[in-house]
Amino acid sequence: MFDIGALELVLIGVVALLVVGPERLPKLARTAGLWAGHARRAFLSVKAEIDREIKSEELKEILREQAASNPLDQIIEADGELSAKAKTGKAAMSGDKPEPAGRDTAGDPP
């Protein structure tokens, strides 16, 4: 991210040693490390939250598109049309007239 090399780290360490002194340098390094850890965790937390929101929005958009196209209703309608065509096709091939729905023909003579 900052592209700091080994030479730059050594230079920062020497300057810190001269400014702070050898007695307080370990405590300062520990404190700086803790702050860097806190900052990194906060950054990763924000990044994860943004990623979750983006995925959530993408899923909502997919659901909206699927609800708009409603493929299940189209499949059911197509299946109903195919069943009706199949029944009329069978009746036409056998020469029989299709029976009206709801009529009981069990007692009728042939």
Domain ranges in the chain are 7-91
Q: How far is CA 89 from CA 18, 30, 71, in A?
A: 97, 85, 26
What per-residue confidence (pLDDT) applies to 22?
Answer: 87
Question: d(Cα 12, Cα 102) in Å, to the nearest integer?
Answer: 93
Q: Map tokens 């520990």 to a residue.
A: 30
Q: How many CB atoms lie within 10 A of CB 70?
A: 11
What per-residue confidence (pLDDT) applies to 64?
Answer: 86
End-to-end alpha carbon distance in the chain? 90
What per-residue confidence (pLDDT) applies to 17?
Answer: 87
Is the alpha carbon torsion for 20, 26, 28, 32 positive or negative? Answer: positive
Which stretches of the chain drop beneath a pLDDT of 50?
Answer: none
3-class secondary-structure state, position 74: helix
Q: Which residues contact 3 (CB under 8 A, 6 or more apart)?
A: none
